[in-house]
Amino acid sequence: MTKVVKIGDRIIGGGNPILIQSMTNTRTEDVSSTVTQIRRLTAAGCEIIRCAVPTMEAAAALSEIKKQVELPIVADIHFDYRLAIAAIENGADKIRINPGNIGSRERIKAVVDTAKERKIPIRVGVNSGSLEKELVERYHGVTAEGLVESALDKVRIIEEMDYDNLVISIKSSDVMMCVKAHELIAAKTNYPLHVGITEAGTVTAGNIKSAIGLGLILNQGIGDTIRVSLTGDPIEEIRSARLILRTLGLRKGGIEVVSCPTCGRTQIDLIGLANQVEDMVADIPLNIKVAVMGCVVNGPGEAKEADIGIAGGRGEGLIIRRGEIVKKVPEEELLDALHHELLHWNV
C-alpha cells in the first residue's frame, strides 16, 4: 500500500479513493478565465487541478486564484527553480517538477527547503520525451526500465535532502511502455503514483489510449490519482476519467447510460437521443443505470438489466422500468418523460 499524501484538503494514497485531476489550458496569469475554467471542472467532478506556471506573473496569480476556487492547486514548473519557490509562496498546494531540469543541487534544495517549510508535497514527474541521454544510451532507447530508474534517481535526490512528502509520475505516450513502467515502479517504491498516458491525443484517440492504459494499470491496484490527457476541452478529461473509474468498479455514483448500436430497425435519432440523455443525467444525483434503445420491438428486453430505459420508433416512445413497459408517449416527449421519471425516482 502506498503512503498517504495530503494535497490541500484532499488525500491520496494509503488505499484512499483514486482522485481525478485535470490541467487548465488558460493563461494562469488571466485570473478570471482560469477561475472560470476551474469552477467548470469542479462542477464536472475534478478533484485536483494543475496550472502551468511559466512566469512570475503566473506564480503571483495563484494567490488570487486560490481565494476563488475550492480545488487544491498544483503548480506545474519547468526549468526555473525560482518559479517553483514563488508558486509555493503564493499558496500552491503541491508543485510538479522534474529535478533533472531544475538545475544544480543547490537550486533543487532551495525548492525542497521551501516545500518543507510549507509542508506541501512535490510531484516528481518524469516523461519519456525528456529521458536523460545517458539512460537512453544505456537501455538502447527509451524504455520502461529507463523511466523507472530516472524517476527513482530524482526521488533519491530529494530524499537525501531529508524530504519524503512526494508523489511520482512516470508518463509516456507509448501505452504499453507506460503500463510496464508502472508495474516496475510499484514494486520498488511506496510513494503514491499519479497515473496517465501523456500526449494521448485528440478526444477520440486519447480516450481509447487512456482507457486501455489506465485500465491495465489501475486494474492491478496501481495508482492513486489519475489524469486523462486529451487535446480538447478539459471537461472531457473529467468525464472520461469518471467513466474509466466506474467501469473498473473503482468509483460508484452517478447515472450510467447504456445504449444500443444503431441498426436497420432503428426508426429514431438514437445517436442524438443517447447524447441528449447523457447530458441530461450528468447532474442528477442517482446511482442507477439508464438504457437508451432504438427499437420498440427488442427495446424492453434489452433494457431489462437497467433500472429504467427508453425505446423509440414510429413516432412513439416507451418508458421501461426493469423490463416492464410503464408508459407510452409521443416520440417528441420521450426525453422530458424520462427526465420527469428520474427527478421523481425516489418519490
Q: Distances in Å between the alpha carbon of 322 and those of 128, 220, 308? A: 49, 33, 6
Amino acid at 150: S
Domain at 321, CATH number: 3.30.413.10
Together in a domain, 223 and 263: no
Together in a domain, 57 and 181: yes
Q: Residue 94's closest CA among 110, 71, 127, 126?
A: 71
Residue 251 pLDDT > 90: no
Please tell me the distance from the alpha carbon of residue 19 to that of residue 329, in angstroms, as a whole number.
41
Mean pLDDT of 203-207: 89
Together in a domain, 292 and 331: yes
Beta strand 289-293 with 308-313 is parallel
The position carrying cell 541521454 is 133
pTM of the model as a whole: 0.85
Q: Distances in Å between the alpha carbon of 196 and those of 2, 77, 98, 275? A: 17, 18, 16, 26
Domain limit, last residue, from 227, 247, 267: 247
Together in a domain, 232 and 331: no
Residue 200 pLDDT > 70: no
Domain at 168, CATH number: 3.20.20.20
Together in a domain, 130 and 241: yes
Amino acid at 132: E
For 275, the domain range is: 256-343
What pLDDT, in 10s, does the model give residues 277-332? 888 877 777 888 888 877 656 656 666 678 888 887 677 788 888 778 888 888 78
Domain limit, last residue, from 247, 280, 296: 247
Q: Distances in Å between the alpha carbon of 275 and those of 4, 55, 258, 282, 288? A: 39, 40, 11, 11, 17
Q: Which residues contact 329 (CB under 8 A, 6 or more apart)?
A: 316, 317, 318, 319, 337
Together in a domain, 37 and 156: yes
CA 84 to chain centre: 23
| Bridge partner residues of 190 (DSSP) | none
Domain limit, last residue, from 230, 247, 264: 247
Please tell me the distance from the alpha carbon of residue 197 to that of residue 311, in angstroms, as a whole number.
37
Mean pLDDT of 93-110: 89
Amino acid at 119: K
What pLDDT sits at residue 335?
83
pLDDT band at 237 (very low <50, low <70, confident <90, very high): very high
Please tell me the distance from the alpha carbon of residue 124 to that of residue 99, in angstroms, as a whole number.
7
Together in a domain, 302 and 322: yes
Q: What is the total count of domains within the chain? A: 2
What pLDDT, in 10s, does the model give residues 145-159? 999 999 999 999 999
Together in a domain, 173 and 281: no
Query: Taking a C-beta distance cutoff of 8 angstroms, is the pair 28, 81 a contact?
Result: no
Together in a domain, 166 and 308: no
Together in a domain, 12 and 85: yes
Please tell me the distance from the alpha carbon of residue 281 to that of residue 265, in angstroms, as a whole number.
26
Together in a domain, 161 and 106: yes
Q: Pseudo-torsion of CA 331, 332, 333, 336, nearest 10°?
A: 120
Together in a domain, 243 and 101: yes
Query: Taking a C-beta distance cutoff of 8 angstroms, is the pair 248, 226 a contact?
Result: no
Using a 10 angstrom Cβ sphere, with 0-12 exposed, 13-18 middle and 19 or more buried, the burial of residue 261 is exposed
Please tell me the distance from the alpha carbon of residue 128 to that of residue 78, in angstroms, as a whole number.
15
What pLDDT, in 10s, does the model give residues 25-77? 999 999 999 999 999 999 989 999 999 999 999 999 999 999 999 999 999 99
